[in-house]
Structure 1
Amino acid sequence: MYQVKKVSIAQLKDPLVVRWLYSLSVWPVSPARLASYLTNPNADPGDDVIYVVTQMDECVAFRTIMPDLIRGRNGQIKVAWLSGTWVKPSCRGKKLSLLTLHEVMKDWGGRLMFTNYSPVSENVNLQSHEFDLFLRREGMRFYLRSPLSVKFQCSFYGSKFLLKFADSLVNMLFSIHRTLKSRCNVNHNEMISPMDMGDFVDAASTQFSHAISKRESPHFSWILQHPWIGEGKPELRYPFTWLNMGNCVLMRSVVNSSGIIIAFALVNVKQMMATIPYFWCSIDEAGHQLTQGLVDELTNREVLWLTIFDPSVTRFFIKHRLLKKSVKQNYYISHLMKGLMHDPHWYHPVDGDGDVVFV
């Protein structure tokens, strides 16, 4: 017999509940995500955010969600982003993910959203026949360095050395290719500089008015102060990544001669891969300047690739003639949400919408 145990925001403040969560053989929530849940400005105390399926007091499945505010046709809408589902391997095929999904659907009045960040979760959620594709974005993955030694883990003798040697040759060609083919004309009188958290929050809070998720000063502060993935040695009892060496958040801006910010970006670097949740520029020249600086810095940090879904941002990186491939991002909404949302063309989604800003 399976039981679904729900944990609300208010219950996460109870030490006994937290002790129970971390006494399970598999953790349903990481300490980083727990801290984020407790400080989420969109969450109310009664919001259920963790759904644990137990059998004989053992965790055999769980689902987590993230409360968020969405810009809707008649004002803001409070929704739940489906942001993590796991089932014990020996229990897969028993529809436990659908069991938790139905509970979430009931508790949140059908106001659910998710993306195709995890293809496995995407397939499970779509099996419920409760969702429609809301919009699709055509993005790009730009390769800054050769990923051969990371993507191909061969076991024969000397393979690691050969792949690293091949990476070195390809990286040298990458560097020459960028130097000869870059078509960016940048004004070096404008400086690229690091931003502190306060400056970024102030700058970002006045932009992105047509993004899907409502983001104001408290939301940006929350995102920056409570990331889901940090730097450190991974904890194997949590089935998703939440600690890794080399993770960091970069905030960079272009400032003109008058000291005014004319472009800025927030970059997430995780496991040698990067994303840009937020990017803005007042003029294209500043966007090119910022892009040039980001490409140089990420290359120096030995980041393998950069994934961007926003076409207004990819156009700057295309100018650098980086090797690239097309990638897609799908946004799904529950049937009930269709009548609450603007037309998809009203939105200008950014890569920081929803829960993907944390992953």
Structure 2
Amino acid sequence: MDLKAYTLDELESYAGSPDYGSSGIIPVSPLRLHSYLHNPRAEKTDHVLFEMYHAGRLVAYRTLLPDEFFDRQDRAHRFAWFSGNYVDPGFRRMGISTRLFQLAEDHWEGRLMYTNYAPASRALYDRTDRFRVLAKRNGKRYYLRAASRELLSRKGIPGSLLHGADQLINQIHDKKLARFQSDPVHPFTVEVIDAPGRDLESLLAEKQAKSLFRRDRKVFEWILQYPWVTDQKHESIPYHFSYRASLFKNRLLMFSTPELPVAGFLWMVIHDKRLTVPYAISTGTETEHAMAVEIIRSMIHDDCAYTTLREHSLVSQMNRFRSWFLARRGMPQLIFVHDKIAGLVPADRIIYDGDGDVVFTG
């Protein structure tokens, strides 16, 4: 078994070489590669990819996403998110994931975090006894439409049966949803924007000053410009994570009134049947109520089946519209931090749903 580690600079060269993908696997998709290379919080010497080879064939890899958090004295600290882990089925339960983890831990000197990983990866981190819960974020998943075909097709239930049930339920429920587009009224002007402009800078700076990761307008622009998923025609590639969708788009809204030109900023991501809200930044409860209305309207417009929210005040507002949903259920999120940096991380800072790498895929 041979281990290899790549810095961001080395990854760029490696991805352009004949060796890349020669084992029938590519560890970083072209979209993710472009994103990595333009990460404003990364340095060329950051290690972002670790690989394991057997007899010259790539059988496992781990990827990381460099980021920053801010301590109690508002000092920035660089760290990395665990962002992808794959082991060939024929090589599992051989300690390969552990060796890749140890390599990443050594190169990053323990400056690591992760969130809601796959059970196998979570078990690995638990065994190391080096991670602590940084935050438990209670959340809700709201089902606006039936989507059992997408959610239950792997349970062995025939897809045709699920599709028929979904159609029947949605035909009935859509008649009710048609009334929502005009029923809820709020006092805000809502503008669709391509990216956060300078008019939002003051609001973002004020609210992000209280957040743990403080993603600013520059970081937001990078995320928007370099997503990891596309709904454009794309040739199939031997990649084990999400990179293609039937529908994928960012939808950004700015809220205003005559008295308050910048009252809020809402960022939604639509990925096939789901809608996520990476960032909802507002000036108060009334704005959050309007945001809940616009989230539901967007779900109706783009035929989304469900959304998951964890920002407490936005969840409270969404619960006021619970009668419009078919069902709701709890969806907590855990964020873990390595012991090496746990003492530097303030416990009272805001964490947004889009913090980490989830914002790139929705």
Report the TM-score, using the length of structure 1 for normalisation.
0.89
Q: Is the 8 A contact 2:267 2:280 kept in 1?
A: yes
- The 3 A distance-change label for structure 1 pair 162 and 97 is closer
Q: Is the 8 A contact 2:114 2:337 kept in 1?
A: yes
Aligned partner of residue 21 in structure 1, secondary structure = coil
Question: CA shift at 1:109, angstroms?
Answer: 1.0
- In the alignment, structure 2 segments of 5+ residues that lack a partner are none
2:167 maps to amino acid: S
In the alignment, which residue of structure 2 is the partner of 1:268? 269
- The 3 A distance-change label for structure 1 pair 272 and 53 is same
Q: Is the 8 A contact 1:211 1:353 kept in 2?
A: no
Aligned partner of residue 20 in structure 1, secondary structure = coil
In the alignment, which residue of structure 2 is the partner of 1:197? 195
- The 3 A distance-change label for structure 1 pair 315 and 172 is farther
Question: CA shift at 1:17, angstroms?
Answer: 5.5
RMSD: 2.7
Q: How many residues get paired?
A: 353
In the alignment, which residue of structure 2 is the partner of 1:252? 253
Question: CA shift at 1:259, angstroms?
Answer: 7.5
Q: How many Å separate the matches in 2 of 1:228 and 1:180?
A: 35
In the alignment, which residue of structure 2 is the partner of 1:55? 54
In the alignment, which residue of structure 1 is the partner of 2:132? 132
Deviations 1:243-281 (A, max 9, x none): 122111111222223671312211112231121010022
- The 3 A distance-change label for structure 1 pair 97 and 179 is same
In the alignment, which residue of structure 2 is the partner of 1:341? 345
Q: Is the 8 A contact 1:133 1:331 kept in 2?
A: yes
In the alignment, which residue of structure 2 is the partner of 1:151? 151
Aligned partner of residue 93 in structure 1, secondary structure = coil
- The 3 A distance-change label for structure 1 pair 16 and 49 is closer
- The 3 A distance-change label for structure 1 pair 120 and 196 is same
Question: CA shift at 1:117, angstroms?
Answer: 4.2
Question: CA shift at 1:310, angstroms?
Answer: 1.6
Q: How many Å separate the matches in 1 of 2:72 and 2:259?
A: 39
- The 3 A distance-change label for structure 1 pair 269 and 156 is closer
- The 3 A distance-change label for structure 1 pair 31 and 191 is same
Deviations 1:64-100 (A, max 9, x none): 0011001123411110111110000000001111101
Q: How many Å separate the matches in 1 of 2:250 and 2:184?
A: 27
- The 3 A distance-change label for structure 1 pair 73 and 287 is closer
Q: Is the 8 A contact 1:143 1:324 kept in 2?
A: yes
Aligned partner of residue 333 in structure 2, secondary structure = strand
- The 3 A distance-change label for structure 1 pair 16 and 170 is closer
Identity of aligned residues (%): 25
In the alignment, which residue of structure 2 is the partner of 1:286? 287
In the alignment, which residue of structure 2 is the partner of 1:356? 358
- The 3 A distance-change label for structure 1 pair 213 and 330 is same
2:280 maps to amino acid: F
In the alignment, which residue of structure 2 is the partner of 1:168? 167
In the alignment, which residue of structure 2 is the partner of 1:295? 296
In the alignment, which residue of structure 2 is the partner of 1:5? 4
Deviates more, 1:124-133 or 1:23-32: 124-133
Aligned partner of residue 12 in structure 1, secondary structure = helix
Q: How many Å separate the matches in 2 of 1:133 and 1:155?
A: 31
- The 3 A distance-change label for structure 1 pair 51 and 178 is same
Q: Is the 8 A contact 1:234 1:244 kept in 2?
A: no
Deviates more, 1:203-212 or 1:72-81: 203-212
Aligned partner of residue 242 in structure 1, secondary structure = coil
Q: How many Å separate the matches in 1 of 2:353 and 2:153?
A: 30
Structure 1 residue 66 and structure 2 residue 68: aligned?
no
Q: How many Å separate the matches in 2 of 1:93 and 1:234?
A: 32
Deviations 1:154-203 (A, max 9, x none): 9999x655433422332245456668999x9632x532221121438735
- In the alignment, structure 1 segments of 5+ residues that lack a partner are none
Aligned partner of residue 26 in structure 2, secondary structure = coil
Q: Is the 8 A contact 1:11 1:17 kept in 2?
A: no
In the alignment, which residue of structure 2 is the partner of 1:34? 33
Deviations 1:48-73 (A, max 9, x none): 10001111221110000011001123
Aligned partner (choices 331, 341, 345) of residue 327 of structure 1: 331
Q: Is the 8 A contact 2:11 2:49 kept in 1?
A: no
Question: CA shift at 1:151, angstroms?
Answer: 2.6
Question: CA shift at 1:121, angstroms?
Answer: 2.3
Q: How many Å separate the matches in 2 of 1:352 and 1:155?
A: 29
- The 3 A distance-change label for structure 1 pair 56 and 303 is same
Question: CA shift at 1:285, angstroms?
Answer: 2.1
Q: How many Å separate the matches in 1 of 2:62 and 2:135?
A: 24
Q: Is the 8 A contact 1:52 1:61 kept in 2?
A: yes
Question: CA shift at 1:214, angstroms?
Answer: 2.6
Deviations 1:27-53 (A, max 9, x none): 111111111111111111111100011
Aligned partner of residue 197 in structure 1, secondary structure = coil
Q: How many Å separate the matches in 2 of 1:162 and 1:15?
A: 46
- The 3 A distance-change label for structure 1 pair 180 and 15 is closer
Deviates more, 1:247-256 or 1:10-19: 10-19
Aligned partner of residue 316 in structure 2, secondary structure = helix
